[in-house]
Structure 1
């Protein structure tokens, strides 16, 4: 472990929010989106650097499927926090559409928009076909799609004059991030000199290998002189350990539904998960949620600091699937105080 990693401090890194706009049992998409804006307004006040929304489709518990529209809604209701996608699943879209959408966002909210890109579909195969129609992309052409998208923003990248232009979009400096849960996008982000965001919140075992690959592969570019890695992490904080663990059972039930292929709306907490899962399912969940941090403020602080030393991240993106909105706000508030004070 390097001297730098040993002395990296939470107060020296940025902290941000990942929001899936969860639809809770008994709630609606409209209520979820209103709560998303409310959380973003609080996050801005508490010093969070950016607020990202994720593209998922055919999910009864997620309201952020039309990601660029929700980004516009959040950006319009805030004033300083960066707002972006974590991410847009590029294989689902024609690159020109994304260039136009994010060119429009950047034109409306200059200097505040991020474009995070993933190569996974963010949904099941049937829904992928419904989204893409006669496109047959399985993500293998992601580098080509990415380059086409970048050319719309910067036509000087093209080997010959472009006959199709992105308006708005062309000439705008919109930060592009690559997102990943394995080594593929880590290596590509490094080779292209782009910032990289890793989904440790659901792929903890791949975190350190992917970050190492990104840093080893990194080539300085006009975008970045050195690697910049953001790591997603589930953090559920409360005033007591007991309450935090209780709140976390909503997240656990959500992942249990994914394991059983029965996704649904975010469920209220339960007193005992052992009544719901088998030992095998419990082991699977602990593997998938292994990097999750749950506890009171002091415990969360200690675990975040340890995770920072382990990952040497430049930024943490906090995800918190919590049923009650007030409890969710309180969790993000407690986490913000950690970064400000320690």
Structure 2
């Protein structure tokens, strides 16, 4: 079973962004030591609980403190950026850390419309996503589709691209372009099976990829005991309720656990609870069994886990999964 880590760089209550980023380094070092395939970072903006907004900067920092593990964006929200700028950023990373850099691309803005306006992007930019992916791929391949424009650095680095999605749109685009497809089933599980089936059915080989390759997202809450994992899972739900339902509240950080639990049981939180549908929870052995079942059911070549908890708990989760044999061949 090929396992990877999606690090959302969480900023926990009472923690600074600097502490969160130091935790990201520690988590990546543990993932490298234990043999996980890659660590990806997701672009979010204007969220008080997430420190991964400047994805390429975070990747550069973590890469400088690791040696071999692949690092990448899971993903860059391309409508927020010029394809040329992203080609230059990830081309620079590829030149500094050859063979270690991935670039996952998403179509959603990763934020709300007000924040998108602050990013100086046209709200219609998502409509150009397929063309932007082709333009970006051309820069990285050294075959620019824009006459007279070359990405330096970036030109010829061929940073591998992956299309991220939670609907049939991304599946169809990844298949048409012959790129790997990563489904965001760790927070948007509904269309997983249909999207993977469409992607595999319609896949067209490309220079980058000869056969379809699916990465499926799943949450992971792993501890030494079932009771500890359940407590961590409650904390993860509370964090999502605080970050989503109370995002614009000036007193969000002062809301207590009892109030957050009550909100989690409310109709307004139904969508948040749905996000956690695919979760590997429990001891290392129990979580590994869930991961194996999920991989088979999702028809996935690789799983990428959003590992929840404080930094020490997330590192321990990776250790428990490795000890349980999660990184070995799937049964």
Contact 2:56-2:73 at 8 Å conserved across structures: yes
Which of 257, 278, 297 is the matching residue for 2:284? Answer: 297
Within 1, Cα distance between the matches of 2:85 and 2:134?
A: 14
Q: TM-score, normalised by structure 2?
A: 0.92
1:341 CA displacement: 5.1
SS of aligned partner of 2:158: coil
SS of aligned partner of 1:179: strand
Which residue pairs with 1:307 in the alignment? Answer: 294
**Cα offsets for 1:204-232 (capped at 9, x unmatched):** 12111111111112011111111000111
Contact 1:247-1:269 at 8 Å conserved across structures: no
Within 1, Cα distance between the matches of 2:254 and 2:201?
A: 41
Which residue pairs with 2:214 in the alignment? Answer: 229
Which residue pairs with 2:265 in the alignment? Answer: 278
Within 2, Cα distance between the matches of 1:122 and 1:289?
A: 19
Within 1, Cα distance between the matches of 2:238 and 2:62?
A: 28
Q: Cα–Cα, structure 1 residues 250 and 329, in superposed 2: closer, same or farther, change >3 Å?
A: same
Contact 1:197-1:232 at 8 Å conserved across structures: yes
Within 2, Cα distance between the matches of 1:272 and 1:329?
A: 29
Are 2:84 and 1:96 equivalent residues in the alignment?
yes
Task: State the number of aligned residues.
Answer: 326
1:258 CA displacement: 4.8
Which residue pairs with 1:186 in the alignment? Answer: 171
Cα root mean square deviation, aligned = 2.3
Q: Cα–Cα, structure 1 residues 273 and 94, in superposed 2: closer, same or farther, change >3 Å?
A: closer
Contact 2:220-2:281 at 8 Å conserved across structures: yes
Within 2, Cα distance between the matches of 1:110 and 1:267?
A: 45
Which range moved further: 124-133 or 21-30?
Answer: 124-133
Which range moved further: 266-275 or 38-47?
Answer: 266-275
Which of 159, 162, 176 is the matching residue for 1:174? Answer: 159
Are 2:116 and 1:131 equivalent residues in the alignment?
no
Which of 7, 10, 14 is the matching residue for 1:19? Answer: 7
Contact 1:181-1:199 at 8 Å conserved across structures: yes
Task: Structure 2: state its 5+ residue gaps.
Answer: none
